[in-house]
Structures are given as structure tokens and as C-alpha cells.
């Protein structure tokens, strides 16, 4: 920073800036936030502001950019979206009252992960800040994440490989990392692509310091009380403690609403890696930002906390049949009782974001209108409980039982806050009449005085006989009596001149002065008292954050149950039978998203069974037949079932899975720039290494990124490995119809195909799954459907015929090769080099019986010559 002899204002600025060096400092000067030096330059570039300069005493002028305070939130929002941090420094006294320089304080630092403002948040999503503890090369790391706008706080221990995927799941908006993670040189931290990172010294992650931090803040004797005292929890605690300290640093108010950290245990959940979430389009569409996702189809929640909970359940389904069945019971009850569901949903629609309102109150940020919204929502709670009535389902009964209406809090707010209160404090009219005697008295004094002044005009007109005499008010001179020039001779003795205008003079009287001071001092006291009373009420609400949060949690669950029940009704889903068996049996299953983008009757349902007898399904059929759809539908149905939802099927039995893996063919993934064969193989390796017997693997083409023979060989070997070693339930969609032979050779593998019908030269897609492999790829027909020119199609047909002639019996040969390589106990891709060498082809065509010995000899020498051996 370019320093120099500076004005007092600039000195104050530099001191503040020194306390938040990594943030852009918004420094209040009157009605503006000003930025100086590099901040001004950066902000003017990012926000398109005019860069000017401010005089800095004897030193060189300082670059300056400013934004009006009124519009500041828009600029802050833009900077945060760009991953910047903004520190807010406000004037904490009126310029008129300051002796010398106005006092200023750093109020907060807004960072992408530490945000309260509604404009920066989206209702249906959490805004998480995540912290990672541990060295970069450690195999296990601590991870913690918190959303200060809702008070949610969790932590876990994850493997290094899971980290990126976990950060993607919680969609962390900002990362807090130990200093040692800071990239040196150009190699930015790629695992965190696009996520703004903040680095803190290593000691901030020290396990003793952090656990002390947590104990102190949440006032617990031991971490055991938070379920975080296990041997394996130390890293999680380090991350959580570092995160807590950081949050308290940037947003001092956040401490009031943050809940104690909750430990997440891997064994309880169905793990989805980043790739799978993406491939199954769980919350984000693969291509167009606006495309449908599983979440967008199933989310019928009516409250923001319900929407966030549903999203959380979807990204973190359960793995424990009992817990899943409990959710399903609740959904079922609301599904069967349509009247109850409709009544419940009616009330839910009137409940605002209890969780964020409570967090704002806890952080001392709630506005009068926020409190009113909270009270109004609390008033709906008894109605919600009534609509729910008695429930059989434990989950529902439990949530209902916890519907604490917090009536005393609603009473307090309603008694204290004027229903017509303005959006912000300061303008008056916030505290309701009847709440405070002192306030009412002051108001009546003020109103009485105002009334007296209002009457004054009539009285003075009479007294002076001047009909045009006026009583008025202006900011500088206060109340006055105005008399026009021609009537000045009628002005009484006790009038004192205040101001001269072109056509009139303005006066005051001692009596008027006295009443005026009554009004003004009452106004001042009223403003102070209102502030005080409001702060008290807000404080009391803030003191109940925990109860409001617990309530919000119950409302959220009820909302999710009712939403899933409504979904089941609207989209004809059924309750899955969730078991501990190793069996997935789906009858009449549908793809939950694809079926919604076509007329209902057009989607063709299919059956898929995966069990001990049939653990691996090889799914063939031409491109566009519907393979990917069936494959994904199996994963989506399992995922829906394990989150506790009904599923799009006629009947479904789901033996819980511990992980779902997917891999999508390289060419299908081009849009993401992941087209290389290498990436494909890395992903496949990750699946083979990570899957267990209880996993579900969905492979959509493997080995497409290389030559056919390479591809088929790798796919073959991968399938054998999964079948023999991993034992995971697997659906493998491929357009290599050659692979269906593998189903004959492996006992627990079965071939299916998505049926097509040939009609003349065309094919018709039946979308129906049938046992057995497809006998051909139908690529040429599909190309024809796609509108390739007729001559290209004709030529392709010819070539295909030739090739098919040459490769006659290719299937048997492949099998032979596989056998040979296995017996040699190695897998050499070179064995699969194409055999159509011209020499071979000539040999093939030669008919020895019809040749003379001489001709045979000539051919032999020609062939040798062709090989370059001659
Ligand atoms: P493949 O993976 O075999 O190339 P897709 O699964 O991508 O084929 O399906 C292609 C298109 O066919 C889908 O976009 C969808 O519109 C339609 N489709 C797939 N399955 C069905 C089905 N069961 N019923 C109706 N339409 C389907």
C-alpha cells in the first residue's frame, strides 16, 4: 500500500484497512461507502465504477471509488459472487456530534461463506462455509461446514479422495484451509476449482486450541456431550473449531445462532460421489442450466427450510433400512390420508423461513418486519399441529409432538411491534402503542405539543387580524410564524424575527419556542426508547433461537414428508419395500425425470432385477434405444427409496446399497471436457477400487474412447472383475453387442437388450427391455433417423456388409482370445489387434482346392513380398 503523510481521515482508513487486509474495505463517509487505493482500483474494474481521487493532504492524491450506501448491498452482492470479501466500516456517531473525526468501526466482513443478507442467499439452499483440517497428503482429513444464516453446523472425517466430492455435495461457497494448502506458483488448488479459499495459520487448526474453542463457545464440559470425543473425531473437531473461530472473527454476531457441531458418520449414509451426482443429474442438470433435475421434479415443499431439508436428504440418502422405513411410514400416512395432507400443506404454505428468521434474531440483525414474520409463522403452528392430529407413523408423531408453538414469544412480538412497522428501524413507529407506558407518555407529550402548534395558526390569525398568517416548519429554523410583507405592520411585540424571505418574514414567540422544544426532546427520547425496546424484544427472541430452530426442524420434516406424499400422489409413485437383502427388484420402473418431459402414457415402464442369480446385467441395444434411461432409472429409484421417498414403479424391492457409482461414456461427457480415454480409465479405476458387495454400479459404455478392440477388451475385463471380485450389483449398458457373450460365460451375469423393431430399412424404438443380447448395433439405421445424407447411408451399408463378411464369427474369436489371455494370466491388448491385414484377407479368399501347386507357390511368394519379407 502506498502510504505517506495523510489527512486524519486517511490515517483512520489505513488503520481499519490494516485490520482486514484481505477484504475490500467499504469505508463509510456520509451517505457513501468509499474505497481507496488498490481496493478502489479493483472495485472500479469489477463493478464498473468511476475511478476518481481524493486529496490526501500533502501526499499524492489517493485513488477513490464510491457507492451510495442505499445501493451498497447490490455492489456487495456482486463482489461476493465474484468470490471477493467485503469489510464494512461504518460511522458510529453522527457527524454533527463528533468532536473532530467521526468514530468508525468495523462491523462485519462479508465473505462468500459467511452471509446473512437475504439478497445474497437463495431460499431453498444452504450457504455453507467449509473448513478442512490436516495436511494435504494425509489420507484422512477433518471437514466441517456451517451455514450462519440457518445455524446449521456439521463435521466429519473424510478420506482425501472423498474431499472434493464432499465439498461438491455440500456445495461449499468458501473454504477455510491451513496455510500449508496455499498454492505456490501457478498451480492453483485444482480440487477446489472455483471455490474461494481463505487460509489460516496452522495453529488455528491445532487440536487442543480448537477443542477448547468449541467447549467454551457451546459451554460444554467435554466434547463427549456433543458426541465428538471418539478417537476418530480429532480431525473433525480441528476443522470445526477452526471454522468456529473464523466465523466469530468475520461475523461476530453469528455465534448467537450457530448450533453445536453434529458429527456425520459415513456408515449411516448412502454415499454418492461427485461423478454420480452429476451423471444422475441429482441437483444440477448436465447441460442446460435450466434443465430438469431429480430435485426439481421431486421438490414440492412449501417452506424454505423444507426445501433445504429435502435437498439435504437427496444428497445424503440413508443406508439403514429401519431409518428409511420410518421416513416411508410418515410419507405413506400422508399419502393415504389426502384430506390430512391437503390441510397440512395449506398451513405450511403460510409459514415463513423460521430458521433464518431465528438466526437473524440470534445475530441481532432481525428487522421489525422479520420479527413480525416470525410471530405470524409461530401463530400457524397450532393450526399445523391440529391438521396433523394423531399419527401412527413415529416420524410424523414425533415431529408433531415437537411443534412447540412458542406462544409467549409470538405474544411478546405482537404486543411490542407495530403491525405497520416500517422495514427498518430509525424512522420511528416500530413499537406498538400500549407496550410501554413511558413511550406512550412521550408520544402523547409530543402529539399534544404538535396539536398545540397546529391550533396556533387560528389563534394568531384572530389575535393579529392577519388572515394569511401561516404556521410552518423547516429543518433549519424549526417552527415559525410567517407573515407576508404587506401585513408586517400588524406584527405584535412578542414576535421575534428569524428569517427574511422575498415576500414575507418569519417569526417565533417565546411560547412557540417552548412547545417546539417539547416536541423535539420528546422525539429524541422516543427514538432512543424505541431502539432500546426493540433491542430488548429482539434479544429475547434471540435468546430462544434454540427452540425456534428445533421447531423449524420439525416443520421442515413435516414439509418434506407431505411433499413426498404429494409427489407420490401426483406422479403415481409407490412405496418401495426397503430391506437388508442383497436384492433389487423393480417392476414397471420409470425414469422419474424423463417421464415428466413426455406425455404420461408414452413412457414405457421396465422391469429390472439384480440379485445373487443375476448380479451383472449387460444391456445392449442401438444408440437412442433407451439404455441410459433404464440404467439411470435403476440408480434414481434406489436413491429415492433410500432417502425415504416413494418411487416411480408399479412395485419395487430395494435391498439397501452403500454406494452408487456411475460412469458415463466418454463421448456422452464431451460437454464437460472430460473426453479423454485417460479420464475414463481413472474413473473406472476409482469405481473398481471403491465398490463393495453392497454397491450399485451403473456403467454407461466403457472403453468408447479408444479403438473398438481395445474398448471391448477393457469392458470385458472390467465386467469379469466386478462379477468375480467385487460382487457389486451392476448394470452395464453398451452398444458393443459382442459383450453379450460374456453373459453366457459368467454364472451371475445376464444379457438384456432394449428392443427395436425393423420396419423396412428403418428401426422403431420399442423402449422395452427383453432378455438376451442385441444381435447388431443398428448404427446405420440410427444415422439414417438422424438425417445423414442418403448416399452416405448407402455407402455405410455397403461397408458394413463387407466388414461383417470379413469378421464372420468375430464373436467366437473374441471369446477365444479372452480365454487365451486368461490362461496366460495376463491381459495383453495387443492380442486384439485387428486381424484384417490385407495378407490375411487374401489368404482367406484363396481356395487351395482350385489352385495349381504353381499358383499356390506364386501366391505364397507374393504374400511374403507384401509383408516385406520377400
Ligand atoms: P441410449 O442410451 O440407448 O442411447 P437413451 O437412454 O439416451 O438411449 O434414450 C434416448 C431417448 O429415448 C430418451 O431421451 C428418451 O426421450 C427416450 N426414452 C428412453 N427410454 C424411454 C422409455 N422407457 N419410454 C419412452 N421413451 C424413452
pLDDT at 608: 96
Distance 756 CA to ligand 1 centre (A): 12
Average pLDDT over residues 604-626: 91
Nearest CA to ligand 1 atom 17: 626
Above 80 in pLDDT, residue 363?
yes
Q: How far apart are the first and last CA of the chain?
A: 80
CB 555 within 8 A of CB 351: yes
Q: Which of 594, 763, 768, 782 to mutate to test the pocket of ligand 1 (most atoms within 8 A of CB)?
A: 594
Greater confidence (291 vs 647) lies with 647
Residues 310-320: tens digit of each pLDDT: 999 999 999 99
Average pLDDT over residues 776-790: 72
Above 50 in pLDDT, residue 450?
yes
Distance 764 CA to ligand 1 centre (A): 12
Q: Does any ligand 1 atom lie closer than 6 A to the CB of residue 778?
A: no
Q: Does any ligand 1 atom lie closer than 6 A to the CB of residue 596?
A: no
Which of ligand 1's atoms lies nearest the C-alpha of 765?
12
In terms of residues, how long is the chain?
Answer: 870
Which of ligand 1's atoms lies nearest the C-alpha of 602?
25
Distance 724 CA to ligand 1 centre (A): 30
Distance 100 CA to ligand 1 centre (A): 74
Distance 629 CA to ligand 1 centre (A): 5
Above 70 in pLDDT, residue 370?
yes
Residues 226-251: tens digit of each pLDDT: 888 887 889 999 999 999 999 998 98
Q: Which of 590, 597, 603, 629 to mutate to test the pocket of ligand 1 (most atoms within 8 A of CB)?
A: 629
Distance 626 CA to ligand 1 centre (A): 3
Distance 670 CA to ligand 1 centre (A): 19
- Average pLDDT across the chain, whole number: 86
Confidence at 186, pLDDT banded by 50, 70, 90:
low
Q: Does any ligand 1 atom lie closer than 6 A to the CB of residue 627?
A: yes
Q: Does any ligand 1 atom lie closer than 6 A to the CB of residue 298?
A: no
Distance 668 CA to ligand 1 centre (A): 14
pLDDT at 5: 55
In terms of C-beta density within 10 A (0-12 exposed, 13-18 middle, 19 or more buried), how is residue 469 classed?
A: buried
Instruction: Supply 410's cell numbers.
Output: 409470538
Distance 610 CA to ligand 1 centre (A): 21
Q: Does any ligand 1 atom lie closer than 6 A to the CB of residue 163?
A: no
Query: According to the per-residue pLDDT averaged within each range, which of 421-435, 577-591, 764-778 is highest?
Result: 577-591
Distance 754 CA to ligand 1 centre (A): 10
Q: Does any ligand 1 atom lie closer than 6 A to the CB of residue 734?
A: no
Nearest CA to ligand 1 atom 9: 626
| Integer angstrom CA distances of residue 144 from 179, 193, 234, 592 | 17, 19, 12, 33
Distance 774 CA to ligand 1 centre (A): 16
CA distance 381 to 394: 19
pLDDT at 816: 44
Distance 630 CA to ligand 1 centre (A): 8
Measured N-to-C along each axis, helices 394-401 and 321-336 cross at an angle, to the nearest 10 degrees, of 80
Q: Does any ligand 1 atom lie closer than 6 A to the CB of residue 286?
A: no
Q: Does any ligand 1 atom lie closer than 6 A to the CB of residue 602?
A: yes
Q: Does any ligand 1 atom lie closer than 6 A to the CB of residue 345?
A: no
The partner residues of 56 in beta bridges, in order of sequence, read 59
Q: Does any ligand 1 atom lie closer than 6 A to the CB of residue 625?
A: yes
pTM of the model as a whole: 0.81
Which helix (H) or strand (E) covers residue 309, if one does?
helix 304-315
Q: Which of 281, 292, 626 to mutate to test the pocket of ligand 1 (most atoms within 8 A of CB)?
A: 626
Q: Does any ligand 1 atom lie closer than 6 A to the CB of residue 806?
A: no
Nearest CA to ligand 1 atom 25: 603
Please give the distance of CA 778 from its chain centroid, rounded to a whole number: 41
Which of ligand 1's atoms lies nearest the C-alpha of 622?
3
Q: Does any ligand 1 atom lie closer than 6 A to the CB of residue 629?
A: yes
Q: Does any ligand 1 atom lie closer than 6 A to the CB of residue 753?
A: no
Residues 571-587: tens digit of each pLDDT: 999 999 999 999 999 99
pLDDT at 395: 94
Nearest CA to ligand 1 atom 16: 594
CB 611 within 8 A of CB 654: no
Which of ligand 1's atoms lies nearest the C-alpha of 754?
3
Residues 592-612: tens digit of each pLDDT: 999 998 887 899 999 999 999
Nearest CA to ligand 1 atom 13: 626
CA neighbor of 260 nearest in space, from 246, 240, 233: 240
Mean pLDDT lowest among 31-40, 459-468, 588-597, 753-762: 753-762
Confidence at 851, pLDDT banded by 50, 70, 90:
confident
Instruction: Supply 713's cell numbers.
Output: 477388451
pLDDT at 191: 44
Residues 322-352: tens digit of each pLDDT: 999 999 999 999 999 999 999 999 999 999 9
* SS3 readout for 572-621: CCECCEEECCCCEEEEEECCCCHHHHCCHHHCCCEEEEECCCCCEEEEEC
Cell numbers 468458501: residue:
174
Distance 437 CA to ligand 1 centre (A): 72
Residues 377-406: tens digit of each pLDDT: 999 999 999 999 999 999 999 999 999 999
Nearest CA to ligand 1 atom 12: 626
Which of ligand 1's atoms lies nearest the C-alpha of 625?
3
pLDDT at 473: 87
Greater confidence (705 vs 544) lies with 544
Q: For 128-220, where are the E strands, in sequence order? A: 129-133, 140-147, 152-159, 174-178, 197-200
pLDDT at 741: 87
What is the secondary structure of 87-135 as a DSSP string? EEEEE-S-TTT-SSSPPEEEEEEEBTTB---GGGS-TTS---EEEEES-
Q: Does any ligand 1 atom lie closer than 6 A to the CB of residue 594?
A: yes
Phi-psi map region of 433: left, alpha, beta (phi>0 left; psi -120 to 50 alpha):
beta
Distance 307 CA to ligand 1 centre (A): 30
Pairing of strands 659-664, 696-700: parallel
CA distance 251 to 852: 96
CA distance 610 to 729: 6
Distance 625 CA to ligand 1 centre (A): 6
Q: Does any ligand 1 atom lie closer than 6 A to the CB of residue 632?
A: no
CB 540 within 8 A of CB 412: yes
Average pLDDT over residues 58-78: 87
Which of ligand 1's atoms lies nearest the C-alpha of 605?
23
CA distance 472 to 50: 42
Q: Does any ligand 1 atom lie closer than 6 A to the CB of residue 475?
A: no
Nearest CA to ligand 1 atom 18: 626
Q: Does any ligand 1 atom lie closer than 6 A to the CB of residue 621?
A: yes
pLDDT at 698: 95
Percent residues over pLDDT 70 in the chain? 91
CA distance 562 to 427: 42
Amino acid at each position: 500500500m502506498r502510504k505517506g503523510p495523510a489527512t486524519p481521515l486517511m490515517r483512520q482508513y489505513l488503520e481499519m484497512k490494516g485490520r482486514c487486509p484481505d477484504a475490500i474495505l467499504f469505508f463509510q463517509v456520509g451517505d457513501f461507502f468509499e474505497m481507496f487505493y488498490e481496493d478502489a482500483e479493483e472495485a472500479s474494474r469489477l463493478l464498473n465504477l468511476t475511478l476518481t481521487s481524493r486529496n490526501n493532504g500533502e501526499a499524492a492524491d489517493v485513488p477513490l471509488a464510491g457507492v451510495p450506501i442505499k445501493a451498497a448491498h447490490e455492489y456487495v452482492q456482486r463482489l461476493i459472487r465474484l468470490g471477493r470479501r467485503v469489510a464494512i466500516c461504518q460511522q458510529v456517531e453522527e457527524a454533527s456530534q463528533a468532536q473532530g473525526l467521526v468514530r468508525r468501526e468495523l462491523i462485519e466482513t462479508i465473505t462468500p461463506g459467511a452471509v446473512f443478507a437475504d439478497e445474497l442467499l437463495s431460499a431453498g439452499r444452504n450457504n455453507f462455509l467449509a473448513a478442512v483440517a490436516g495436511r494435504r497428503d494425509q489420507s484422512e482429513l477433518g471437514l466441517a461446514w456451517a451455514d450462519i444464516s440457518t445455524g446449521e453446523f456439521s463435521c466429519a472425517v473424510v478420506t482425501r479422495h472423498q474431499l472434493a466430492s464432499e465439498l461438491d455435495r455440500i456445495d461449499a461457497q468458501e473454504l477455510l484451509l491451513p496455510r500449508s494448502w496455499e498454492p505456490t506458483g501457478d498451480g492453483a488448488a485444482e480440487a477446489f476449482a472455483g471455490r474461494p479459499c481463505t487460509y489460516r495459520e496452522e495453529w488455528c487448526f491445532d487440536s487442543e486450541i480448537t477443542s477448547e474453542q468449541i467447549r467454551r463457545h457451546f459451554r460444554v464440559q467435554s466434547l463427549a456431550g456433543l458426541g465428538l470425543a471418539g478417537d476418530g473425531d480429532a480431525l473433525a473437531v480441528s476443522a470445526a473449531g477452526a471454522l468456529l473461530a473464523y466465523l466469530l472473527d468475520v461475523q461476530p454476531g453469528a455465534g448467537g445462532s450457530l448450533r453445536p457441531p453434529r458429527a456425520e458418520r459415513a456408515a449411516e449414509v448412502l454415499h454418492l460421489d461427485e461423478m454420480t451426482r452429476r451423471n444422475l443429474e441429482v441437483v444440477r442438470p448436465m447441460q442446460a442450466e435450466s434443465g430438469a433435475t431429480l430435485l426439481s421434479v421431486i421438490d414440492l415443499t412449501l417452506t424454505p427450510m423444507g426445501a433445504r431439508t429435502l435437498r439435504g436428504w437427496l444428497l445424503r440418502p440413508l443406508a439403514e433400512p429401519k431409518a428409511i422405513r420410518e421416513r416411508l411410514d410418515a410419507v405413506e400416512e400422508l399419502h393415504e390420508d389426502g384430506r390430512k395432507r391437503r390441510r397440512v400443506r395449506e398451513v405450511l404454505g403460510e409459514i415463513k423461513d423460521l430458521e433464518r428468521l431465528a438466526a437473524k434474531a440470534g445475530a441481532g440483525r432481525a428487522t421489525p418486519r422479520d420479527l413480525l414474520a416470525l410471530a405470524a409463522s409461530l401463530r400457524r403452528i397450532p393450526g399445523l399441529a391440529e391438521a396433523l392430529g394423531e399419527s401412527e407413523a413415529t416420524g410424523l408423531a414425533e415431529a408433531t409432538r415437537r411443534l412447540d408453538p412458542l406462544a409467549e414469544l409470538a405474544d411478546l412480538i405482537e404486543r411490542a411491534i407495530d403491525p405497520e412497522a416500517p422495514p427498518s428501524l430509525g424512522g420511528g413507529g416500530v413499537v406498538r402503542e400500549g407496550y410501554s407506558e413511558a413511550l406512550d407518555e412521550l408520544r402523547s407529550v409530543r402529539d399534544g405539543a404538535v396539536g398545540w402548534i397546529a391550533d396556533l395558526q387560528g389563534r394568531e390569525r384572530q389575535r393579529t387580524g392577519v388572515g394569511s398568517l401561516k404556521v410552518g416548519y423547516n429543518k433549519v429554523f424549526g417552527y415559525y410564524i410567517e407573515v407576508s410583507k404587506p401585513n408586517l405592520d400588524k406584527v405584535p411585540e412578542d414576535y421575534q424575527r428569524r428569517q427574511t424571505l422575498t415576500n414575507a418574514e418569519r417569526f417565533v414567540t417565546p411560547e412557540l419556542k417552548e412547545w417546539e422544544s417539547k416536541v423535539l426532546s420528546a422525539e429524541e427520547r422516543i427514538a432512543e426508547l424505541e431502539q432500546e425496546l426493540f433491542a430488548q424484544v429482539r434479544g429475547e427472541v434471540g435468546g430462544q433461537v434454540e427452540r425456534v430452530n428445533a421447531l423449524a426442524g420439525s416443520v421442515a420434516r413435516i414439509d418434506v414428508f407431505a411433499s413426498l406424499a404429494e409427489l407420490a400422489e401426483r406422479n403415481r409413485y409407490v412405496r418401495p419395500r426397503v430391506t437388508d437383502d442383497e436384492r433389487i427388484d423393480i417392476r414397471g420402473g420409470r425414469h422419474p425425470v424423463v417421464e415428466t418431459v413426455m406425455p404420461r402414457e408414452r413412457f414405457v415402464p421396465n422391469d429390472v432385477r439384480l440379485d445373487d442369480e443375476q448380479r451383472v446385467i449387460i444391456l445392449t441395444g442401438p444408440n437412442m434405444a433407451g439404455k441410459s434411461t433404464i440404467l439411470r432409472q435403476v440408480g434414481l429409484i434406489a436413491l429415492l427409496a433410500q432417502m425415504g421417498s416413494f418411487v416411480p414403479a408399479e412395485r419395487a424391492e430395494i435391498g439397501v446399497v452403500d454406494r452408487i457409482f456411475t460412469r458415463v461414456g466418454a463421448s456422452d461427457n464431451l460437454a464437460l471436457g472430460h473426453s479423454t480415454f485417460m479420464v475414463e480409465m481413472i474413473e473406472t479405476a476409482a469405481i473398481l477400487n471403491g465398490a463393495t458387495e453392497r454397491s450399485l454400479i451403473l456403467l454407461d459404455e466403457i472403453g468408447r474412447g479408444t479403438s473398438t478392440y481395445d474398448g471391448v477388451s477393457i469392458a470385458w475385463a472390467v465386467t469379469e472383475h466386478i462379477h468375480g471380485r467385487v460382487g457389486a450389483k451392476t448394470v452395464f449398458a453398451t452398444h458393443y453387442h459382442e459383450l453379450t457373450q460374456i453373459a453366457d460365460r459368467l454364472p451371475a451375469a445376464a444379457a438384456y437388450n432394449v428392443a427395436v423393431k425393423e420396419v423396412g430399412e428403418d428401426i422403431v424404438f420399442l423402449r422395452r427391455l427383453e432378455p438376451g443380447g442385441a444381435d447388431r448395433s443398428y448404427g446405420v439405421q440410427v444415422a439414417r433417423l438422424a438425417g445423414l445424407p442418403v448416399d452416405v447411408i448407402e455407402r455405410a451399408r455397403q461397408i458394413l456388409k463387407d466388414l461383417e463378411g470379413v469378421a464372420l464369427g468375430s464373436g467366437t474369436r473374441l471369446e477365444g482370445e479372452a480365454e487365451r489371455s486368461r490362461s496366460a494370466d495376463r491381459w495383453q491388448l495387443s492380442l486384439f489387434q485387428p486381424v484384417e491385414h490385407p495378407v490375411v484377407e487374401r489368404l482367406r479368399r484363396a481356395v487351395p482346392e482350385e489352385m495349381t501347386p504353381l499358383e499356390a507357390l506364386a501366391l505364397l511368394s507374393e504374400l511374403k513380398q507384401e509383408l516385406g519379407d520377400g
